[in-house]
A and B are shown apart, each in its own frame.
Chain A
Amino acid sequence: MLAVLDYGIGNLRSAQKALERVGADARLVTTAAEARGAAGVVLPGVGAFGACMAALRRSGLDQAAYAAVEAGTPFLGICVGMQLLYEGSEEDPEASGLGILAGRVQRLPDTVKRPQMQWNRLELRRPDDPLVADLGPDPWVYFVHSYVAPPSPGLVAVCDYGGPQAAVVAAPKLWATQFHPEKSGPVGLALLANFVRIAYPA
C-alpha cells in the first residue's frame, strides 16, 4: 500500500487516482497509525506553506513523515509537500518546516511572473536517478508555485524560470518534485510509475 497523507488540504484525489492509474494500491490516510507499514509515503500539498504546515501538525501526519524517513520507506513530496521538507520558507518566515532537508524555501525571482503557472521543460542534472528514468527526450511538466527550494547538491532536475529552479530533489530514499506529476500528463504518470517501482522493487 502507498500512503497518501491526507491532512485536509486541497485536491488529493488526483494524486491518489494517478498512482492507481500506474498500478499502485494508493490510499488516502488521515492518521499516522494508518500510514504505518506502507511501502511508500506521498506528501502532497497546495496553498500556503504556513497553512499546510499547521494542518500537517494538527493531523499528526508530520509524525508519519518523520517515521517514514527514519525507517527508509520511499518518500515522495509534491509541490508544497516538497517545500515542507525544508527548514522554513520565505512565504511564512515564522513557520518552521519539517527540517528533513537543509535550507529555506525562497521566493521566485522578481524578473518572472509569480506564480509560475505553466508547463515547463525539465533539465535533468542527474539523469541516472531512478525517479526520472525513461521520461522521454523532452519531458515537460506542470508547475504552479511562487516559492521554490534552494539550490542544493541533491538536485536531480531543474527548470528554467528566471534562472535554474529546483524541480526534482533527491536524498537517500526520499524524492520531491516542485511540479505536479499527477497533472503532468504521460510524463507525470511515468514519473509516478518510477516511484511505484522504487516502493515495490522487483
Chain B
Amino acid sequence: MQSVRVIPCLDVDAGRVVKGVRFTGLREAGDPAVLAAEYDAQGADEVVFLDITASSDGRDTMVDAVRRTAEQVFIPLTVGGGIRGVDDARRMLRAGADKVGVNTAAVQRPQLVSEIAGEFGAQCVVVAIDARRRAGTGEPRFEVYTHGGRRASGVDAVEWAARVEALGAGEILLTSMDRDGTRDGYDLELTGAVVSACRLPVVASGGVGNLDHLVEGARHGADAVLAASIFHFGEHTVAEAKERLSGAGFPVRPPAAYPPVGPERSAS
C-alpha cells in the first residue's frame, strides 16, 4: 500500500524557529526540538527543519538543535539548508538527522548528490527543488532557483528531477516559489510534471492554505504533503490533515494510535 505522509516544516535560524510559530501552552515555542516533539505527538510522519542560518556560529547551534531533537523525537527528521558538502551532511547525520536536503550546492556541482549517496546511502539524500514558472505560453515550464529562491539557475526543474534520480538521490522536496506563502495551494502542474518525470518519492511543498490543498497534492501524485503555516498558527492539527486525506481515500498512518512508551514526553 502506498500511503501519504504529512510533514510539518520549520524554518530555523541559528537554532531558533522563525516565522512565528504559535502553539498555546508551550513555554519554549521557539525551540525546534520542542515543536518537533509537539508535531510528533499530533501524528506527524516526519519533520523537516529548513536551516536559514547565515553564520557559522549559528550553524553550530543548529547541530545542537538537531541533536536535542533526535534525543526525544522518534520519527524521521530531515534537515535542509546550508549543506555544501559531504562534511556538512555528516555533521547533521551524526547529530541525528535521517536525511539531508541539498539545493544550491547540488545545482552548482551535481556530483555532490552522488557523493553524499555514496557515503551514506541514497535514502538520506533529499534534493530540494525550488521552482518557478517561466514566462511564456503553451506547456508550462519550470526553472530551478537557488540561494533561497533568489537566483535563477537556468536549469529546467523537470529535467533536474530526472537527473538527480540518476545521480542517486532518494527523494525530491519540490517547492513552488510562485505559490510559497500565498496560501493558494500547491502548483499542481509542477507537482504532476515532476511526479511523471521520475520514480523517486516526491514531497509537495509551497502554498498550502487549507486541508483540501493537501488532498489536491496527493491526487496529483505527491507521496508526501508538506505545510508550514496552517500547522504553525494552530489553524489545523496534523491529525485533522490526516482525517481529511483519509476521508478522500488516501491511506495515512493513523495519528496517536498507541500511547507513548517510557518516560513522559516533556516540553523542556
Residues of A within 8 A of B (CB): 9-11, 13-14, 17-18, 21-23, 46-48, 51, 112-115, 117-121, 135-140, 142, 144-146, 159-161, 180, 182-190, 193
Cα A121 to Cα B70 in complex, Å, equals 24
Which residue from chain A places its CB closest to the CB of B171 in the assembled complex?
A117
Closest-CB distance, A173 to chain B (whole angstroms): 23
> B122 touches which one: A115, A135, A140, A160 (CB < 8 A)?
A115
> B121 touches which one: A17, A48, A159, A188 (CB < 8 A)?
A48
Cα A127 to Cα B97 in complex, Å, equals 32
Q: Is the interface of B mostly helix, strand, loop or mixed?
A: loop
Q: List 27 A-B contacts (CB under 8 A).
A: A10-B93, A11-B70, A13-B70, A14-B74, A14-B96, A17-B71, A18-B74, A47-B121, A115-B122, A115-B170, A115-B201, A118-B224, A119-B253, A120-B3, A135-B258, A137-B257, A139-B257, A140-B257, A146-B122, A161-B1, A184-B74, A184-B75, A185-B75, A186-B256, A186-B257, A186-B261, A193-B262
Q: Say yes or no: B3 contacts A119, CB within 8 Å.
A: yes
Point out the residues of chain B lying under 8 angstroms from A115, CB to CB: 122-123, 170, 201
Point out the residues of chain A lying under 8 angstroms from B3, CB to CB: 118-120, 140
> B2 touches which one: A18, A113, A138 (CB < 8 A)?
A113
Closest-CB distance, A47 to chain B (whole angstroms): 3
- List 11 additional contacts besides A113-B201, A140-B257, A144-B170; criterion CB under 8 Å: A10-B121, A13-B95, A47-B121, A47-B123, A119-B253, A121-B1, A183-B98, A186-B256, A186-B257, A189-B262, A190-B261
Residues of B within 8 A of A (CB): 1-3, 5, 40, 45, 70-72, 74-76, 93-98, 120-124, 170-171, 199-201, 223-224, 251, 253-254, 256-263
Closest-CB distance, A106 to chain B (whole angstroms): 18
Q: Say yes or no: B74 contacts A188, CB within 8 Å.
A: yes
Q: Is the interface of A mostly helix, strand, loop or mixed?
A: mixed
Q: Say yes or no: A136 contacts B258, CB within 8 Å.
A: yes
Closest-CB distance, A113 to chain B (whole angstroms): 6
Q: Say yes or no: A11 contacts B94, CB within 8 Å.
A: yes
Closest-CB distance, B48 to chain A (whole angstroms): 14
Closest-CB distance, A175 to chain B (whole angstroms): 17
Q: Say yes or no: B96 contacts A189, CB within 8 Å.
A: no
Point out the residues of chain B lying under 8 angstroms from A11, CB to CB: 70, 93-94, 96-98, 124
Point out the residues of chain B lying under 8 angstroms from A14, CB to CB: 70, 74, 96, 98
Closest-CB distance, A6 to chain B (whole angstroms): 11
Point out the residues of chain A lying under 8 angstroms from B170, CB to CB: 115, 117, 144
Closest-CB distance, B225 to chain A (whole angstroms): 12
Cα A160 to Cα B124 in complex, Å, equals 23
Closest-CB distance, A73 to chain B (whole angstroms): 23
Point out the residues of chain B lying under 8 angstroms from A121, CB to CB: 1, 251
Point out the residues of chain B lying under 8 angstroms from A18, CB to CB: 74
> B223 touches which one: A118, A135, A140 (CB < 8 A)?
A118
With A115-B170, A193-B261: A46-B123 Cβ-Cβ less than 8 Å: yes
With A188-B74, A189-B74: A119-B5 Cβ-Cβ less than 8 Å: yes
Closest-CB distance, B5 to chain A (whole angstroms): 6
With A11-B93, A121-B1, A188-B74: A46-B120 Cβ-Cβ less than 8 Å: yes
Closest-CB distance, A186 to chain B (whole angstroms): 5
Q: Say yes or no: A144 contacts B70, CB within 8 Å.
A: no
Point out the residues of chain A lying under 8 angstroms from B261, CB to CB: 21-22, 186, 189-190, 193
Which residue from chain B places its CB closest to the CB of A137 in the assembled complex?
B257
Q: Say yes or no: A185 contacts B96, CB within 8 Å.
A: no
Cα A10 to Cα B259 in complex, Å, equals 29
Point out the residues of chain B lying under 8 angstroms from A185, CB to CB: 40, 74-75
